[in-house]
């Protein structure tokens, strides 16, 4: 599926965050977006996920406008925000069931052979979310987002505050997802996390700029300045 | 997905039940301590009830003693005063010590003097520090003296007229007949006056009014121990749920349903005890008033937490807004005692409207306007909560 963002503008309180962003992603791609803090990465991902409306511009999936076929769009796009969208007092199973629409069979299937199995969710299925570590919560968040078996996965700083093992697990999963034909769009400040990307963009002054992939950190920082 | 979300929110609410009951017990204990301290502050160590009055009657004057006993046996006097017979010195000593609110010093030959027209007055001593009870007795004796004076004037006038006309032998019959007729007419005359009971508490009695008021306040404040449940969901959670088709209005409605369930769980034992103690009758009206009041109160509480946005802010806002509006709505002091401007607007306050709908259960009469007003406030709170949820997102 081709996800395209055309001429996206967004302002908050009179401050322009995005000033004409254009982006096109294709199946099998992993797109990394970098930029300094507060440059608008989260806003851009929220717009791509359909969670926030752009002031101007459009987002489309295979040529269909996101706003016009909302349910088809949200069924195809899996969004993992920076903050975990989980109900802390409930168990992992309860949280997953919410996003699986109460379909226990589908959840069991994914726990056996789907994304939930790869993310090793089965080990913590009965545990209360508030008692899980940050890494575990992130894995559950990804599993929740992928309950729709979306073909586009959008992640906002997936490795933030996670230990090395968790980061490696998530990287490994993203690689697998991409190779299976899915599209990954992620933001990060960490080079190891960005190593899975096949395309790199820098967001600066409200605009996206395609840069060379696999640049060392020192070179990448120069684009921020 | 809508039903799954509702089910999970109710499960979240269910998990808060232990906090709710622990908090409710603490709340009841605090209320009991405040009530006890308040009653002690108002009445000190004394027993609130009848006015203690000392009566000093000369030892040999059995007739006077009988008359005083007859007066004290009258229901109108007995319900207000408690007569204690002792000698004059003991009476004045107890009055000085504050044990008595007033003393009646009946003179020697009191009854005979009335009969022969001399009218030696009864001396009444008051304790200036006796407060409202002393003043009450003073008003009572003044009213009694006026009534007695009016009836005596009629009898004396008749006696004098008979004597002038040389009918001295018939004076006895005249007095008997006058007494009889006076009683007949004066008793019947009371029927000519329109009896209007002015009650500050509306269509329930004072006790019931305060039971309802405390119940409503308790229901609102049970939200404090479960304030964690009322915290607005994370912004990203709201965004994700919106993407899944669960809008702000639905999420607010589900939160209100969860809080309503908790309020129902907290108030159910109270309602049950009230039914078992015959304070209120078990009926469909009671069930309807109970359910609607729980949902409305829940809507208001959810709205307050949406407005506050933080846990501490929510608790502070809940406490001050609820107790403030409960006072203005006449929950602590019946509304008639509040300024006219406050009375005009206070009827629209949530506590006032909820209390009115609960009164239905006490008077056992459907009042659809009260029920609709209560549900209307709940609906308004839901709409505002939904708007706040969307705005916050």
Q: Supply the ipTM of this predicted assembly.
A: 0.81
Measure in Å the smallest separation between the Cα of A208 and chain B Cα atoms. Answer: 24
As given in the structure block, the two tokens for residue B342 are 């406050």
The verdict on a CB contact (< 8 Å) between B240 and A87 is no
The 10 Å Cβ neighbour count of residue B25 is 11
* Cβ contacts of B11 on chain A, cutoff 8 Å: 90, 94
Bridge-based pairing of strands A207-211 and A199-204 is antiparallel
* Residue B103, C-beta contacts closer than 8 angstroms, at least 6 positions apart: B53, B54, B55, B56, B91, B92, B95, B124, B125
Query: Is B8 close to A46, i.e. CB distance below 8 A?
Result: no
**Three-state SS at B204:** coil
Closest alpha carbon to B243 in A110, A54, A76: A76
Q: Which residues of A touch B244 (CB under 8 A)?
A: 74, 99
Asked whether residue B331 carries a pLDDT value surpassing 70, the answer given is yes
Q: Chain B partners of A130 at a C-beta cutoff of 8 Å?
A: none
pLDDT digit string, tens, across residues B241-296: 888 888 889 999 999 999 999 999 999 998 999 899 888 888 898 999 999 999 99
Here the tokens at position B68 are: 């005083």
For B:264-323, CB contacts with A below 8 A are: none
Percent of chain B with pLDDT over 70: 88
What is the mean pLDDT of the segment spanning B140-160? 80
Q: Hey, are the CB atoms on A90 and B236 less than 8 Å from each other?
A: no
Q: How far is CA B63 from the centre of its chain?
A: 43
The DSSP result for B2-46, as a single string, is HHHHHHHHHHHHHHTHHHHHHHHHHHHHHHHHHHHHHHHHHHTTS
pLDDT at B196 exceeding the cut of 60: no
- Please name the helix (run of DSSP H) or strand (run of DSSP E) that holds residue A183, with its range, or none: strand A183-187
Cβ distance B23 to B71 under 8 Å?
A: no
Distance in angstroms between the alpha carbons of the first and the last residue of chain A:
34
CB-CB contact of A105 with A145 (8 Å)? no
The pLDDT score that the predictor gives to residue B74 is 67
Q: Kindly report, residue by residue over A14-31, the tens digit of the pLDDT.
A: 888 888 889 899 999 999
pLDDT tens per residue, range B54-105: 888 887 777 777 777 777 776 667 777 888 888 888 888 888 888 888 888 8
Burial (CB < 10 A; 0-12, 13-18, 19+), residue B32, is exposed
- Which has the closest alpha carbon to B283: B164, B365, B383, B181? B365
Domains and CATH numbers, chain A: 3-85+151-222 (3.40.50.300)
B229 membership: H or E segment, kind and range: helix B227-230
Give per-residue pLDDT as tens, A178-201: 898 889 999 988 888 888 889 999
Contact state of A90 with B3 under an 8 Å Cβ cutoff:
no
> What is the distance between the alpha carbons of residues A75 and A50, in angstroms, rounded to a whole number?
11
Which chain B residues are Cβ-neighbours of A97 within 8 angstroms?
A: 4, 8
Predicted local distance difference test score (pLDDT) of residue A110: 85
Which of A150, A97, A152 lies closest to A126 in space, CA to CA?
A97
| Sheet strands (E) in chain B | 51-56, 81-85, 102-105, 123-126
Write the residue in B7, B12, B240 that is nearest to A79 by C-beta: B240
Backbone conformation region of residue A210, classed left if phi is above 0, alpha if psi is from -120 to 50, else beta: beta
Q: pLDDT tens digits for A42-86?
A: 999 989 888 888 899 888 888 777 777 777 788 888 888 888 889
pLDDT in tens, A76-135: 888 888 888 898 889 999 999 998 888 888 888 888 887 788 888 888 999 999 998 888
Predicted local confidence at residue B193, as pLDDT: 54
pTM, 2 dp: 0.70
């Amino acid at each position: 599926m081709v996800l395209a963002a055309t001429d996206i503008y967004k302002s908050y309180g009179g401050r322009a965050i995005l000033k004409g962003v254009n982006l096109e992603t294709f199946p099998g791609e992993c797109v990394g977006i970098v930029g300094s803090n507060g440059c608008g990465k989260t806003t851009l991902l929220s717009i791509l996920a359909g969670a926030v409306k752009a002031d101007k511009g459009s987002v489309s999936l295979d040529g269909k406008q996101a706003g016009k076929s909302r349910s088809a769009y949200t069924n195809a796009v899996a969004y993992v925000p920076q903050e975990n969208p989980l109900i802390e007092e409930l168990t992992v199973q309860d949280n997953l069931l919410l996003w699986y629409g109460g379909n226990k069979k589908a959840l069991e299937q994914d726990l056996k052979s789907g994304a939930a199995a790869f993310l090793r969710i089965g080990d913590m299925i009965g545990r209360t979310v508030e008692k899980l570590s940050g890494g575990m919560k992130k894995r559950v968040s990804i599993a929740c987002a992928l309950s729709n078996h979306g073909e586009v996965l959008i992640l906002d700083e997936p490795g933030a505050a996670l230990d090395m093992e968790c980061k490696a697990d998530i990287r490994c999963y993203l690689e697998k997802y991409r190779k299976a034909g899915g599209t990954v769009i992620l933001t990060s400040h960490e080079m190891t996390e960005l190593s899975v990307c096949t395309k790199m963009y820098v967001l600066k002054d409200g605009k996206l700029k395609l840069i060379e992939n696999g640049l060392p950190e020192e070179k990448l920082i120069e684009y921020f300045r | 997905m809508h039903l799954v979300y509702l089910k999970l929110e109710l499960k979240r609410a269910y998990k808060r039940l232990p906090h709710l009951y622990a908090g409710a017990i603490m709340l009841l204990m605090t209320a009991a301590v405040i009530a006890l301290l308040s009653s002690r502050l108002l009445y000190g160590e004394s027993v609130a009830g009848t006015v203690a009055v000392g009566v000093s009657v000369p030892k040999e004057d059995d007739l006077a003693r009988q008359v005083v006993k007859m007066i004290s046996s009258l229901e109108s006097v007995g319900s207000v005063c408690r007569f204690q017979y002792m000698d004059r010195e003991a009476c004045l000593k107890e009055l000085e010590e504050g044990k008595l609110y007033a003393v009646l010093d009946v003179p020697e030959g009191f009854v005979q003097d009335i009969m022969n027209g001399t009218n030696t007055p009864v001396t009444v001593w008051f304790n200036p520090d006796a407060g409202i009870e002393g003043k009450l007795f003073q008003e009572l004796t003044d009213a009694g003296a006026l009534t007695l004076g009016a009836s005596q004037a009629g009898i004396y006038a008749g006696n004098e007229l008979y004597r002038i006309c040389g009918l001295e032998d018939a004076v006895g019959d005249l007095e008997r007949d006058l007494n009889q007729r006076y009683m007949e007419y004066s008793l019947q005359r009371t029927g000519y006056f329109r009896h209007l009971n002015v009650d500050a508490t509306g269509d329930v009695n004072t006790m019931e009014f305060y039971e309802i008021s405390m119940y409503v306040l308790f229901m609102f404040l049970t939200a404090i121990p479960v304030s964690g449940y009322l915290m607005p969901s994370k912004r990203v959670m709201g965004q994700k749920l919106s993407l899944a088709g669960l809008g702000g209005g639905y999420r607010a409605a589900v939160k209100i349903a969860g809080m309503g369930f908790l309020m129902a769980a907290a108030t159910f034992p109270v309602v049950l005890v009230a039914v078992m103690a015959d304070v209120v009758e078990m009926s469909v009206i009671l069930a309807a008033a109970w359910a609607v009041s729980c949902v409305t109160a829940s809507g208001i509480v959810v709205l307050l937490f949406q407005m506050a946005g933080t846990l501490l802010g929510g608790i502070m806002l809940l406490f001050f807004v609820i107790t403030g509006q409960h006072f203005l709505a006449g929950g602590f002091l019946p509304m008639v005692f509040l300024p006219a401007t406050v009375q005009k607007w206070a009827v629209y306050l949530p506590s006032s409207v909820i209390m009115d709908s609960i009164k239905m259960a006490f008077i056992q009469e459907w009042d659809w306007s009260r029920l609709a007003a209560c549900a209307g406030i709940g609906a308004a709170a839901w709409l505002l909560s939904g708007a706040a949820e969307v705005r916050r997102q």
